[in-house]
Every structure is written in structure tokens, then in C-alpha cells.
A and B are shown apart, each in its own frame.
Chain A
Amino acid sequence: MAWIVVVLPLLLGLFSLPQRNNRLLLLVLRIGGIAHFLVTLLFWLLPSEGSPLVFLDPLGILILTVTSFLFLMVSFYTKGYLKTHTERISLAIGCLFFFLAAMSLVCISADMGLLWVAVEATTLASAPLIYFHKDHRSLEATWKYLLICSVGIALALMGNIFLSYAGGSSIESLYIPDLLANADRFDPRWLKVAFILLLVGYGTKMGLAPLHSWLPDAHSEAPSLVSALLSGSLLNCAFLGILRGFGILRQAGLEGWGGNILILFGLVSLSMAALFLIRQTDFKRMLAYSSVEHMGILVLGAGVGGIAGTGAMLHLVNHSFAKGLLFLVAGNILTIYQTKQLDSIQDLVHQAPRSAFLWMVGFLAITGSPPFGLFFSEWIILKGLIDSGQWVSLVVYLAALFIVFASLARYVIQMTFPRGSSSIGAPHGEKQERSFSKEPLWMWGPPLVLSGITLILGLYVPPTLLSFLTMAFTG
């Protein structure tokens, strides 16, 4: 049953590869997105089942749902985004499906070995997507992505090997429930080495500083809809790998030790991202660094534990939707202005009022302004930091959030409103201006839905959801 979420997109991907009809491909993409999301919803209703390779635990279901919903939104966005594309898009659509299959497999893996294979598969499935534009810059980004993530994934494999050695004869496989049940009999020294390797390995993929160097390039060079998936879904999947390792550590009674390492990585990511955000020239790179920042917040929350752990889970959901929204709108801006340079973009509010509105909403959401969901989750993590008396972390956290807010505010306002009387950056030609002045539904529909969810999660989080998030964190 659980396998459906993997097999379905896999088959659709295989079906898409030889197709030449672009309209059919886009239709298949939307149908696949809807079907995948419906199956995912079924998982919430049906009792979970276990098999030696796959299972559905709260954490996996949570990330699977986020991934599936974001994919659904992206599939509708893609319809418009690639509609005018005359070249063959079968490889891109096929890879989108393979990417979804691999990410779903990450979420349902009940075995650390299978999880590892799935994370590796996400790299391979997404590399051709980053190379979509087939130019010099995207090639460079793809090469960096492949090489750096392969190295990371090799380190994660070493982590798995150490994990099995730490277990010794007390475990028969890397089946996660087995590992959790026997974790107290593990050799703590080898277990620590294993966790560090898993953290560094999957952390590379998650974009934790200082291992994030592939991320800004890949996110800025990939088509915006792919960036949305990379940032909103893939990073979560890598985080899942880290959390699985952390869960074992917790059962072995090493939570404090592991938590401190996570906090350290979180603070480094937060502060580096904040520093890099002060000077940006490319608005997609700006969003990418914002992802590094939010990944830092996630591991920080997980490391502090307790209520901050629940906050991190909520933050994961919020960040995925808000960042998905921003990247999709970034795609609109790119379509309208044909440039990623911050300097040459202005007066968005007159060129594309709906995109401008969503861009502002996305900015407010991602910087954690009330009443959006990220404000609430960042506030929970703040409370967790205060409760556990992590004063240094608290100061770094607040300072980084403030710097990010100030930097993003400057760029976003600069892009949205007209700058004096100068005419630089206006879209080339009057004709183009008119054609985009009525923005089609695909441009603002999916981002609007995403912003609606972030808003709702900021206004009201049902207690059942909160307890589910707590369960997802503590296992």
C-alpha cells in the first residue's frame, strides 16, 4: 500500500519520457500530482502498516504530505510556465516524476539503507532538472550539485556502516524500529561517529552551512518551479535523514550530546545565511540563502528539543509553503523582466500587481512577520530557547532573524515599488508590458493557495495538529 506513492510517479515518469506531445505531458503532470496527493491523504485516514522496508510514521507522513501538496501546486504552475515552451519537455517532466518518487521513498523508508538509496536517487533525478536551461551557468550549477552532494551522500553511507557496526550483533538490519528498540545496547563511541557522518552527509544535501555551497547556484539556475521543489521538499527530505539518526541517538541516551551539535550547525547556518543576505544581487540567490537560514532554524529547533522540536516541525511545514510561494512568484518576475538582477527590477506593483502582492505576502511570511505561520513557529522555537536557558543561541537567533528581515525588506521594497523617475528596468517594449498586465491564473493561483495555507497556520493551529507534530518529532 505504502509503495503506491513511489510506484505511481515512477510509472508516470517512465510513461512521460518517450512522449513528444507537450500538452499531453503537462496534463499527465497535473493528473499525477492530484493522484499522488489523494493517495497521500488516504494515508492519514488508514492505520499505518509496517513491512521490512517501508512504514508510515508521523514524521514520514508529515514530510510526504508537504512534498505531495507542493508538487501538486507546482504541477499546476508548470502548466502555464511551460505552455509556450516549444522544445521537448519530456525529460523534464519525467525527471519531475522521478524526483517525486525518490522523495516519497525517502519519506516512507523504514530502513536506513533504503533511505540512503532514496536520498541518492533524489540527487540523480533532480540533476537534469537543474540543467534544464542547458547553458554555461546551469551546467556549472549542476556539476557542483552532483559532485558536492555525491560526496555528502558517500559520507552518509559511511555513517550507515558505522551505525551497523555500533549495533553489532544486537541488530539484524538497519530497520529503523529495530534500531530504536536496541539503541541502548549500541556502542556509544561508534554511534557518535555514525551520527556525525550522517549529519555531515545529509547536512550537505540539506544545505547546512558551511556545506551549503551547491545550494545558491542550484536554486538560482534551476527553473523556478524546480527551485520551489528543491527548497520546499528536497531539503526537508534530507532533514528527515538527520532526524532519523537523531532519533536513534535519543533512544541511546545521547540526546544532549547530539542536540548540542545540531544547535551548533543551526547557529552557524543562521549566521552565515544572514551575513550573505546583506549583499545580494540576484533575487533567486537571495531566496536560496533564505533557505539556508531556515534550515538552520530547523536544526536549531530540533537540537534544543522539547517544545522547540514541535516548533521546528511546524516551521518545516510553514517554510515549505512560504518558500514554494516565493519561488513560484520569482518565476513570474523572471518571466516578466527576463533578468535575475535585483538592480534592474523595479515597479513590480504596476507591471504585475498580483505577483507584486504575492511577493510582498511571501516576504512578510518568510521573515516571520505576524500573522503568518512562520511567526508562530519561530516564536515557539524562541520559547523553547528561553525555557532551556540557551541565552547565547537566543541572541544569535534573534540577531540573525533581524538582519534577514532588514536585508530582505530592502530588496523586496526596491523590486516592488517604482524608484523615482528613472526608467531603467522597465520591461523591454510596450507590447510585453501589455501581455503581462493581465496575469493568467497559473501565475497567481498556486502561490495564492500556498500563501493562504501559511496565513491559516499563523492564525490557528488545531491542537490535534500540534500533538501530531510533537509525535512526529519525538517518534
Chain B
Amino acid sequence: MEMEQTILNLLVLTNLLSNIRLLNTSRIPVMILTVGIQGFVIGLLPLVLHWERVHSTLLLIALIMIVIKGVILPRLLNRSMQQAGVIREVEPFVGPTASLLIGLFLLALSYWITFPLRSSLPEGFFFVPVLALFTVFNGLFLIVSRKKAITQVIGYLTMENGVYAFGASLAVDHPFLVELGVLLDVWVGVFIMGIAIYHINTEFDHIDTDKLSTLKH
């Protein structure tokens, strides 16, 4: 029990640190690495949380998720990045330091939102939903505050990681469809977005989405 708790705390902490790293770096390779690590850690979550009840299906799904989130997606992103030739998020809408401050605020917000629901959560569980919510908020924030298409995809993946952490911590009784859904979402979503990035790249020699502003109200 204690061992399990320690590992859980370690995972939660790694997730927290990876979120912070995502917020205050502007180097895209670092972001890709970080989101990969985060995916790996979050993939481990269901196994650690429900280690007494791990059955073959859960194990299989968890392993697939670890491979996809931790290995395949970062590789795809790396390839897109090299094709597009961008390695830096230059002049985001919100700079690294300000992002970090907003991140702290989002963390507090997640804590505040999750707190009233505390009593209906299993014991020793509380920080997982807080961190999951923080990861979702963090992803949303990255999407709206960064300009490059690839950084927005990274933000989207971060958000997906958060959603998966929720699924892993809450919905373990009905894992199948939920996790199948995440699978499809991540897979196809990123696949298509990769193609879109490719087109944005080849047509306009840049992947700044803020330059895509011909369409106004």
C-alpha cells in the first residue's frame, strides 16, 4: 500500500513538473519530449491506481496507450517539426514567465474546483483528479496562447493526456469504450492534424496559425 502510494505520488509529481516545463519553454523539441514523458507517466496511472484489480484487458490497453502516447506520437510530431523546419515558438501570445504564472493560477483553480467533490472520491486519490484537471486546463491554455500549429497540436495532446488521466482514475469500472475512444481520438486527430500542418507548411512556408487570419467576422 505504501509502495503504491509512493509510486503514485512520483507519477503525479512528474506530471506536475512536465506541465510546468511545457509552460515555460519555447523550444519545440523540448515540448515534444516533455509531452512524450507526460504521456508515458499518465499511461502508467491506471496500472498503479488499480494494481489489485489489473486484468489482462486493462493491462493491454494501458500498454498500448503507453506506446502511443510515449513513443509513436512524439515521433510523429518530431517528423512534422523537421518537415516544417520550426524549432522555436517565437513570440507566443503569452510569454514563458507569464505562462508560468497563469499555470500556477490554473493549478489553484483545478484544486478549487475538485475540492468540493473530494468526499465522493476514494481515499488517497484526490491529487490525481486535481492534476488531471490541471493538465486539461494547461492544454487548453497552450492551444490559445501559442501561434504555431505544431505547438497547438502539442497543447491538444496535453489536454488529451489530462482527459485520459481522468478516465484512468475515475472510470475504471467501464474502461473499454472510454479508452477505445481516447485511442481513436488521439490517433486519428493527430494524424489528420499532421496532414493539415503539412499542407499549411507546403503552401505558405510557415505554420503560424495567426497569419491565417484572412477570415474575420
Contact = CB atoms under 8 A, between A and B. Distances in A.
Contact of A189 (B117, B171, B189): B117
Chain B interface size band reads 35 or more
Chain A interface size band reads 35 or more
Given A158-B166, A161-B170, A147 B156 contact: yes
A136 B214 contact: yes
Given A140-B212, A146-B196, A151-B156, A160 B203 contact: no
Nearest to A127: B192
A160 B176 CA distance: 12
B200 interface: yes
Which of B136, B149, B171, B193 has its CB near the most chain A CB atoms (within 10 A)? B171
A401 to B, nearest CB: 21
Given A143-B212, A151-B159, A161 B120 contact: no
Interface string B150-188: 001000100110010011001101100110111011001
Interface string A144-187: 10110011011001101110110011011110000000000001
B199 interface: yes
Given A140-B214, A154-B159, A120 B185 contact: yes
B174 A164 contact: yes
Interface in A110-126: 111, 113-114, 116-117, 120, 124
Interface in B200-217: 200, 203-204, 209, 212-215, 217
A92 B140 CA distance: 31
B124 interface: no
B120 A158 contact: no
B170 A139 contact: no
A137 B181 contact: no
Contact of A120 (B156, B174, B184, B209): B184
Contacts of B170: 161-162, 164-165
A402 interface: no
Nearest to A147: B152
Interface of B: 116-117, 120, 136, 140, 143, 149, 152, 156, 159-160, 163, 166-167, 170-171, 173-174, 177-178, 180-182, 184-185, 188-189, 192-193, 196, 199-200, 203-204, 209, 212-215, 217
18 contacts: A113-B181, A117-B177, A124-B189, A127-B192, A136-B203, A136-B212, A136-B214, A143-B196, A147-B152, A150-B156, A154-B160, A154-B163, A157-B185, A161-B163, A169-B173, A173-B177, A190-B120, A221-B215
Given A117-B181, A171-B174, 8 more contacts: A136-B212, A143-B200, A147-B152, A147-B156, A154-B156, A157-B167, A173-B174, A221-B215
The 3 A-B pairs at the shortest CB distance, nearest first, are namely: A113-B177, A140-B212, A165-B170
